[in-house]
Amino acid sequence: MVSAGVSVAVARPDGEARTRDIFLGLGTSAWLGYTFLYPSLSNFHAVIPTCPFLLLTGHPCPFCGGTRSFSAMWRGDIFHAARLYPLGPLFFVLSFPVAAYGIWALVTRRSLTFTIPPSAMRALTITGVTALAVSWTLKLLWLGN
């Protein structure tokens, strides 16, 4: 019996993969740069506007606090970062290999392609949605914004 697992291949990217790689490389790098500069930018009111969900409902969205959490991580304040956005420290750490991959893909004109079995994809999706729901619940009921 052969079990199908996750497979990874390196290939020349098609248009969709190239767009994804541009977003991952440049978008993630730009986001990291913005969150690094956030304290200085906020002094000049040159920051991204407040979350529309928060403005409309008075409650934080599932991602509220992410910018400030990343900014706290740049300062090494992991506890404050987790209070602002419970998933922030994890996402901050994961942003660096994501940005590095995107830049590698753009420079080498190669792209990684993952083949994930449906059962593994389902487990990843359930884990991600659960983590986001727990994080949002913490923000709504205990941590605030």
pTM of the complete model: 0.84
Q: What are phi and psi of 45, to 5 degrees?
A: 55, 35
Residues 31-57: pLDDT tens digits? 999 999 999 998 887 788 788 888 888
Residues 5-41: pLDDT tens digits? 888 888 898 889 899 999 999 999 999 999 999 999 9
Does residue 95 or residue 114 have the better pLDDT?
95
Per-residue pLDDT, 140: 85
Who's near 28: CB < 8 A, 6+ residues apart?
Answer: 95, 98, 99, 102
Per-residue pLDDT, 133: 93
Element (H, E) at 40: helix 28-43
Residue 143 CB neighbours (<10 A): 16
Per-residue pLDDT, 145: 61
